[in-house]
Structure 1
Amino acid sequence: MSYTLHHPQSHYKGGDERHEPIIFMHGLFGSKMNNRGISKMLVKELNRSVFALDLRNHGESPHVTPHTYTAMAEDVEHFIKDHRLKHPTLIGHSMGAKVAMSVALRSPNLIQDIVAVDNAPVNAQLGRQFAQYLQAMTRIENTPIVNAKEADEILAAYEPSLPIRQFLFTNLLKPTKENDKFRWRIPIKILGGALDEMAAFPFTPGERSFTKPALFVRGTTSKYVADETIPLIGEFFPRFQLKDVEAGHWLISENPEGFKNVCLEFFRREKED
């Protein structure tokens, strides 16, 4: 797995980045680059290292099948073991949140706590926009466009929000001497075939639970963590806390300060307890 390591200043002076690090995982169509700002903020405030990962089929990590939560959880478990990380925290947004939950339920002894951002341990249909994004990406890849402006005109017919289009275009590779076409960094066929898997959750209530601390953060204008899912969260994560942040689904980028504050409150209260 590809990753970026953000060090506290003290670790440059001989500290140990393997002790209580944070592992940060992005959402669908994201990458480790999405979480640079918040990672640096948490490093500074908590004096802990942050490993920002590219999950499989994203960023610079390998393109492989299957693209399931079980497979991604196994990837993260291997990462923790291979890097000999001690008592890590998992933070994941959206798809990454379900990966964090899956690791917690599969291998609770590997981690000390999780922060699940705007997703819940439920089988729930993905927003229609994700399928539309893939349709637009396929159209862009199959159209002989000559510049990024033409690609944006195609995508704008599917997504009017410029910030979201800019987020998606972090995956667009420009022509090179070796390849004279615009193309996507991510394998859109693999991800397109995995949308049903991304809507699912690999565990059923009562099957297992994670009895360590868990923070669930949801956007106040997002629909991904509905009130009716709260009892189900408690079945899987009996020590969970739920915090709302003034934002939509992309709450880390929309309100990084609000997200940072609820995380700091969670981590510092744990230390006090």
Structure 2
Amino acid sequence: MVAFSNIKKLKPIFWSRLNQDLIFKVSRCLKCDSTYAETVEVAYSTYESTDVDTSKQPPLVILHGLLGSKNNWNSMSKAIHKTTGRKIISIDARNHGDSRHSPQHSYIHMAHDVMKLLRKLEISKVSVLGHSMGGRTAMVLSLLCSDLVSSLIVVDISPVKTSPQIFSMMNLFDAMAAVSIRSDIAMSKARKLADDQLRSITPDVNLRNFLITNLIQTNAGTYTWRVNIPALKSNFQSNISNFPVSLKGLQKDDLPEIKEYFPLADLVFIEGAGHWVHSQKPEKFLETVCKFLEDK
């Protein structure tokens, strides 16, 4: 895990190493951008206690990864709130979880969705934690609206490089779209059938279980995916797999200059964790995140 903080210049960059995870922290960025992006209503959950004064520190907004949901962060959200006393707002991205579907799916759009929600909640300052796709959304949010984001934690994603493994997602989208389950069966059996059909595309049972968290039964009794597979697939190559190159200060040749742009960088590695560091090494992840939040 790699963490940056107290940044004095633009070009936030970090990279991932095999079997290690990264957290990237930013304390400032750009002024609010006026670029228009069509927004959608996003679902969210809050974690707060009546006996804890959460007004002293900015709330922590948590943004999940591709094909995930706010539910993936339920336990961690509770733990971070209990440890830090901060109010936690965990958000479902568009085309995920309980949020609205849209044919548009880019980091600019998702960042504006978050802005809209925070304006609705009358929140003017937040810390943001983003994992994977949510990490890039968090970076874009901080670049577009620096006055809104007081500190930033990005988990296992980079604005300048993309893991080659991410392009296997296209095969997963196709496999999920091809899953066929009849309507007259219980959810437990439906999940088993979905697992059987996805096994041909990935032998990783943990990944299959993660994908199957998106399986839902409609009011009509039919089974479908909660995530908007067509929109995610059509936007993947152009809008999801790469960070927006149009954002000022983010160039692919910046990596050799990382020390110039991050002279006060903090480097923290969580050993033995894969992409889902928050579930694979929850205690260490919680400790690291809470220490950063307490320092900020």
Moved over 4 A (4+): 16-19, 143-146, 228-240
Please provide the CA RMSD for this pair: 2.5
Alignment of 1:69 onto 2:110: no
Cα 1:194/1:131, change in 2 over 3 Å: same
Match of 1:120 in 2: 158
Alignment of 1:162 onto 2:200: no
Match of 1:139 in 2: 178
| CA distance in structure 1 between the aligned counterparts of 2:56 and 2:101, rounded to whole angstroms | 27
Note the C-alpha offset of 1:114: 0.4
Return the TM-score normalized by structure 2.
Answer: 0.75
Cα 1:68/1:232, change in 2 over 3 Å: farther
Task: State the structure with bigger RCO (CA 8 A, min sep 6), 1 or 2.
Answer: 2
| CA distance in structure 2 between the aligned counterparts of 1:158 and 1:5, rounded to whole angstroms | 36
Match of 2:268 in 1: 243
CA contact (8 A) 1:123 1:199 kept: no
- Segments of 5+ residues of structure 1 without an aligned counterpart are 210-227
Alignment of 1:261 onto 2:287: yes
Note the C-alpha offset of 1:203: 3.6
Match of 2:143 in 1: 105
Secondary structure (helix, strand or coil) at the match of 1:65 reads: coil
Higher helix share: 1
Alignment of 1:96 onto 2:96: no
Secondary structure (helix, strand or coil) at the match of 2:62 reads: strand
Q: Structure 1 stretch 250-259 or stretch 260-269: which is displaced more?
A: 260-269
| CA distance in structure 2 between the aligned counterparts of 1:93 and 1:35, rounded to whole angstroms | 10
Note the C-alpha offset of 1:2: 0.4
Cα 1:35/1:170, change in 2 over 3 Å: same
Q: What is the count of residue pairs matched by the alignment? A: 245
Note the C-alpha offset of 1:208: 3.8
Amino acid at match of 1:190: A
Which residue of 132, 153, 159 maps to 2:196?
153
Cα 1:40/1:167, change in 2 over 3 Å: same
Secondary structure (helix, strand or coil) at the match of 1:38 reads: helix
- Segments of 5+ residues of structure 2 without an aligned counterpart are 1-41
TM alignment of 1:35-46, pairs within 5 A: 35-46=73-84
Q: Summarize deviations over 1:120-161 as a string: whole Å, max 9, x none.
A: 1125255233222212111104x6585422211111111222
Return the TM-score normalized by structure 1.
Answer: 0.81
Note the C-alpha offset of 1:187: 1.1
Amino acid at match of 2:284: G
Cα 1:95/1:71, change in 2 over 3 Å: same
Q: Summarize deviations over 1:42-98 as a string: whole Å, max 9, x none.
A: 101100010000010000000013100000011111122221214210001000000
Note the C-alpha offset of 1:202: 1.2
| CA distance in structure 1 between the aligned counterparts of 2:261 and 2:104, rounded to whole angstroms | 25
